[in-house]
Structure 1
């Protein structure tokens, strides 16, 4: 096929490299960081597992991941607002939501690449000068490669920050899910090794945005096990980021340059689809690597739709005030589980295009 350089060695970059290697490209991956990302977990939804199957590593991910026993959204007292029926999801889409450490997903993707493909500690400061037939921007929300495709594109802040932490307890929960409060929300996701991933989102102008003890106080009134898990969460595991999103681009392609993952469509985490869409991108790119306009036509409308939908979900989750939050929670409870699951068909029903 030719030579391809992938800028960025995260989930989207390694997955894109897998897809391109399978298509016959000679691939190099350049990652700025000195080593592989170790922190945090990731939820892999059925659409992303189909993408991983297409990349040849789906079963490896299933082996190390934990399928969530149940999930959904609760209010701060623990009452269900929306409950996800995992059995119905599996029946409808073939898989449930599988949670695993991000590092294990990167291991699985890296195992499908020839030795020496990934070069850590190798920043690319001038992507336009790369000598390759194909340049793939997988360098995240602050992408340098994106300037070659959409010079004026700028991420937008949501005015919130996300904490991601890990906790180890003697009796970990068997169910995951998210809990909505007043101007904040939090969630838990158990892992197969007994640890529990936590996330918490608060406004960026409050003490809890910067101080772990303040975060613990912020969620002290939430239902179990959120306060307990935050209380024993490992401070060294804490990873705090400003939540931003990228308004949809007019194109994901410019000449020999193509964008995947957050470089193409950074979104808020409220649909759990950021990494999932990056895996979809990788499969489609591998199958459209000689027809980049087709890649753009297949990926851009879906990514734009889910980016907007995720942003709306984040606004709803972060509502403040007694009346807005009471109305939000009450309206959510009116939706039958079957209707809620059907509403996810447009997200989870994705399938790879023909080879």
Structure 2
């Protein structure tokens, strides 16, 4: 029986735990929080993430508990349509994309995990890699040798720091706001309002709820008073003003957008980094959760090989092309988001569908997992 340690109980960590728990291994999952504390926001899962969930065996459940998103509507602040995308056409499959509450996805992932030892309020304190095993000292003082360690502890991964040292993140945007609302009756698609002052995105996440993501444009990394952040958006077309009548900055989630530079390898020998710990990037392609789910599916297949001594290298070779394509396209989207509004608006009308289709084309191809 091989011993596996998973650091991090987010999407990536729980997904790989689900896939490995019945393989005859002794699995321990450590979570730095004292209990499950899942962000009360939403998540948009593009089709490649849904394909990965199908591989894990949870795709149908996610479709049922979330909201099938079949189209993307990009409009100006007066609700004039700039670009309408058929997501089933772009991805080449039915029920392609899903919006879902982040906590609901977490609950789906953890439900049925019954062969994993979960330790809360615990992190990796020290580690030492060896061709035959990894020596681990946990923050609770426990020491043990593991055949495999999986770092799934997010963008600010301590596991990654223990391998590579401190890798500075690139700050992309200084302040974005996220919150959940009662779903407006007329909003049944991925719905984005844009203007020179910023973006207001509404995504249905079940029949009754929607997730809002708001990014106000600034020069450089300027931040705004949270109480005044939404003022310019109150002039947008319905349903934005109605949403903001009930909005509170205190019931919203605020964060910066940051990007992890490309790693030379996603781990070291028997230690593998997955999810944001390996390739965290801002959500311009909405691929954070999707790539994390893919990572779990790919790694679970690779671990069917009995030799785990260099699994980090094998995993990196399997994932590099897909992840780097996403990173490059994500950075392209970032640059487009910073263009003068009139140029962005013209581009959406002229080549928006062509660019969107090209961005996701390789990701739409189902990998041989």
- TM-score strictly above 0.5: yes
Post-superposition offset of 1:193: 4.0
For 2:170 and 2:96, how far apart are their aligned partners in 1? 32
Alignment correspondent of 1:126: 126
Alignment correspondent of 2:108: 108
Q: Do residues 42 (structure 1) and 43 (structure 2) align?
A: yes
Alignment correspondent of 2:213: 199
Give matches, 1:187-226, under 5 Å: 187-202=201-216, 203=218, 204-207=221-224, 210-211=225-226, 213-226=227-240
Post-superposition offset of 1:256: 1.4
Q: Tell me, yes or no, if the aligned pair for 1:252 and 1:300 is still in contact at 8 Å.
A: no
Q: Do residues 184 (structure 1) and 201 (structure 2) align?
A: no
Cα distance change of structure 1 residues 112 and 308 upon mapping to structure 2, 3 Å threshold:
farther
Give matches, 1:251-266, under 5 Å: 251-266=265-280
Greater shift, 111-120 or 304-313, is seen at: 111-120
Deviations 1:44-91 (A, max 9, x none): 11111111111111111111011124214223232333322134246x
Q: Tell me, yes or no, if the aligned pair for 1:184 and 1:317 is still in contact at 8 Å.
A: no
Give matches, 1:20-99, under 5 Å: 20-36=20-36, 37-89=38-90, 92-99=92-99
Deviations 1:217-262 (A, max 9, x none): 0312323222321332354531111110011111102121110011
Q: How many residues align?
A: 345
For 2:7 and 2:114, how far apart are their aligned partners in 1? 17
Structure 2 portions without partners, runs of 5+: 129-134, 137-143
Greater shift, 251-260 or 293-302, is seen at: 293-302
Deviations 1:132-190 (A, max 9, x none): 11111111111111124433532110133221111126636222222332252220012
The match for 1:314 among 328, 334, 344 is 334
* Secondary structure at the counterpart of residue 269 of structure 1: coil
Cα distance change of structure 1 residues 101 and 239 upon mapping to structure 2, 3 Å threshold:
same
Q: Tell me, yes or no, if the aligned pair for 1:186 and 1:200 is still in contact at 8 Å.
A: yes
Alignment correspondent of 1:137: 151
Q: Tell me, yes or no, if the aligned pair for 2:31 and 2:120 is still in contact at 8 Å.
A: yes
Give matches, 1:143-154, under 5 Å: 143-151=157-165, 153-154=167-168
For 2:156 and 2:116, how far apart are their aligned partners in 1? 26
Post-superposition offset of 1:343: 4.2
Which structure carries more strand by proportion? Answer: 2
TM-score by length of 1: 0.89
For 2:279 and 2:234, how far apart are their aligned partners in 1? 35
For 2:22 and 2:56, how far apart are their aligned partners in 1? 8
Q: Tell me, yes or no, if the aligned pair for 1:74 and 1:81 is still in contact at 8 Å.
A: yes
Q: Tell me how large the CA RMSD over aligned residues is.
A: 2.3
For 1:144 and 1:256, how far apart are their aligned partners in 2? 17
Q: Tell me, yes or no, if the aligned pair for 1:244 and 1:268 is still in contact at 8 Å.
A: yes
Cα distance change of structure 1 residues 327 and 47 upon mapping to structure 2, 3 Å threshold:
same
For 1:352 and 1:178, how far apart are their aligned partners in 2? 34
For 1:184 and 1:118, how far apart are their aligned partners in 2? 42
For 2:292 and 2:343, how far apart are their aligned partners in 1? 34
Deviations 1:9-40 (A, max 9, x none): 01111112122324443211111112221411
* Secondary structure at the counterpart of residue 125 of structure 1: strand
Post-superposition offset of 1:266: 0.6
Post-superposition offset of 1:342: 5.0
Q: Tell me, yes or no, if the aligned pair for 1:93 and 1:349 is still in contact at 8 Å.
A: no
For 1:339 and 1:307, how far apart are their aligned partners in 2? 15
Q: Do residues 351 (structure 1) and 367 (structure 2) align?
A: yes
Instruction: Give the ranges of 4+ consecutive aligned residues of structure 1 lying more than 4 Å apart after TM superposition.
Output: none
